[in-house]
Structure 1
């Protein structure tokens, strides 16, 4: 059922369970008007448009993913265009309940960086749903910790690169992942001064450069535990600092391949759901019905084996994960309660991006970005700024058959 809430009458969505961003409520209705939430109430108002979710369904704030390389058969590096970005967003909205995201560019040349920034700017100007800005993961990374990034595309930081990376300006959010030891002192402060958020990632630094970057305004760590220096007996490493420094958020890929169960539990206990956020690091096969067993990334063949993507040498190459899948995995294997996992997928990344007064909650005046989930936490439907595509009276199994899981 397609419902457009941009005009009256109101859209009223009733669910047995509503998670408002912090607490779970039973038998509530959410009233949407003009793209915003106007009420969360146990007493549904009279309305011409009433959507009653299936029995056992959960209505929650839409998921926010700050690291999305691709989806729907598109990789941002290969197709840095508004149309490509729209396909990526649509795939993650349909399958993963992601209503807001940062398209993510893997390390590439400066001309490709410029093109990707312009594509995001154009996509936002055109109103492509759910695009918040851009995540530039690289190219200023450690050659010792490249992960699947092409070593030939890693670069030395040059004068003018701060202006390049922040070329989106005030149009949207810019997130930059870099290795603090790979850039001159003052780089992080310069990026932050121009409005960017900066994460440490793909770093071999054991502590000194990371701590200096935190003092300059670094505010997060990209895919915790992966492609970074580890906690040792004497050196903290990036992992140790990320887990213990309360100034920083950390993204984590909860897919069963990138991070083991014990590490997931440790990260949740150390950072808490208020500082640990779920990310997908998703690649082009997510949501692509024509996805093959292999695809090419910068000339390297990437093999898909079930839900695992890796190069021929076994190096992980992003993921097949959706945000709904990450929520399921975090509750099943990471020791998180439902409320904690939903927070890590919505309010926490919204807070990291400085958008927690706009998205990440179900409360009056917040954007009507919503996800409906069945009992097994598969996606039934979404609303983005009140433009809703939710299922009315369909079973969870039917939702999965039509690609909503």
Structure 2
């Protein structure tokens, strides 16, 4: 049910996570798409939207790695319609901001997305884009098509650099596979660089971070591991407080012990929950085609014909639930890793990730069972129809 149209809105809730602490009851007043005020004490009973007593209102989730959803793979539909389908599928699961992610592909596919990127920024929930590849290490390719992995040429670079002025966009690359000057050039164009699908040594990663590489893509997966005398990308990430790291918290991609080690080393302010979601998210389907290969869903695992993991069947609300269960951390810590920390990585920490005056009114409400009951982007909301009556007390 939409609550669009009005320029001001009040949401009352018994439980409000403001981005730092769990508080409540209280009321959040929204005006012109931003949070005007937040008042604590008895929730305003005449608020237009009065959440169920057990629901929590929190900053909307931000997912920096979303390959697909709602039956759409971005690589197959690098169009406004394709992006909209993906974003809407994830919004239903609490994601109010995301970076639709293009995995390694031909130059013309990157160019097709580049051509519509500016228009896509008008779609509610699109914060920018994530280009995962093509400059990866073939030895750590994961499910990426080996034939398309390459050092970008001038044509590729022109298209990739154009994303530097399209919201807050990211490029994942293997630092050891590109000239250092290329990293400088991409950062100079306004892009954030994440190391991933990389066999780099810890020393190579340190040099890359000194040049401005600031993120790590799906920590532990498709990268050089932590060994005694060569800490690799995993060790370098765990040791370097400058690096933000995305992690797939589905209980499949990373063992529970690895998740806990990552949290102990990086903490809630540097570790980010990502879904690495594929087209089946938000659908009842169990298979799809990825660049000519059939990907099958079985017991929540997505695998290619040779058994290689092919992204994740995960939503951010599930990642939050899993983080609490698998890492044994507080709901507060999990929510910070789903919103405030990715906002900080993207340089949006004064816009998103908190419920505070002046912040954008991107919000999520969910039940104790981790079921999303409503989302708002810029104060414009959608709520679950079934319990609509209980949400509104006029």
Q: What band does the TM-score fall into relative to the shorter chain?
A: over 0.9
Q: Does the CA-based 8 Å contact 1:56-1:374 persist in structure 2?
A: yes
Give 1:83's aligned residue: 81
Q: Does the CA-based 8 Å contact 1:130-1:384 persist in structure 2?
A: yes
Partner Cα separation in structure 2 for residue 256 and residue 321 of structure 1: 10
Partner Cα separation in structure 2 for residue 46 and residue 267 of structure 1: 41
Shift of 1:160: 5.3
Q: How does 1:215-226 map to 2 (within 5 A)?
A: 215-226=210-221
Partner Cα separation in structure 1 for residue 6 and residue 243 of structure 2: 37
Partner Cα separation in structure 2 for residue 46 and residue 337 of structure 1: 28
Q: Does the CA-based 8 Å contact 1:277-1:348 persist in structure 2?
A: yes
Determine which of 179, 199, 204 is the counterpart of 1:204.
199
Give 1:102's aligned residue: 99
Partner Cα separation in structure 1 for residue 16 and residue 45 of structure 2: 19
Partner Cα separation in structure 2 for residue 48 and residue 260 of structure 1: 47
Q: Does the CA-based 8 Å contact 1:12-1:44 persist in structure 2?
A: no
Shift of 1:389: 1.5
Structure 1: which 5+ runs fail to align?
400-405
Structure 2: which 5+ runs fail to align?
none
Q: Does the CA-based 8 Å contact 2:129-2:166 persist in structure 1?
A: no
Q: Normalized against structure 1, the TM-score is what? A: 0.92
Shift of 1:208: 2.8
Shift of 1:161: 4.1
Give 2:136's aligned residue: 141
Deviations 1:86-129 (A, max 9, x none): 000000001x20000000000001111111122222222xx211
Deviations 1:189-219 (A, max 9, x none): 2111111000000001122322211111000
Q: How does 1:138-287 map to 2 (within 5 A)?
A: 138-159=133-154, 161-287=156-282
Determine which of 113, 116, 122 is the counterpart of 1:116.
113
Give 1:37's aligned residue: 35
Shift of 1:47: 9.1
Q: Per the alignment, do residues 165 and 54 of structure 1 end up closer, same or farther by CA in structure 2, a change over 3 Å counting?
A: same
Deviations 1:351-384 (A, max 9, x none): 0000011111100010100000101122111001
Partner Cα separation in structure 2 for residue 325 and residue 366 of structure 1: 25
Give 2:376's aligned residue: 383
Partner Cα separation in structure 1 for residue 283 and residue 385 of structure 2: 26
Partner Cα separation in structure 2 for residue 5 and residue 31 of structure 1: 15
Give 2:287's aligned residue: 294
Give 2:351's aligned residue: 358
Determine which of 19, 36, 57 is the counterpart of 2:17.
19
Q: Normalized against structure 2, the TM-score is what? A: 0.95
Q: Per the alignment, do residues 44 and 365 of structure 1 end up closer, same or farther by CA in structure 2, a change over 3 Å counting?
A: farther
Q: Does the CA-based 8 Å contact 2:60-2:339 persist in structure 1?
A: yes
Partner Cα separation in structure 2 for residue 252 and residue 326 of structure 1: 10
Shift of 1:164: 2.5
Give the alignment's Cα RMSD to 1 decimal. Answer: 2.0
Q: How does 1:47-66 map to 2 (within 5 A)?
A: 50-66=48-64
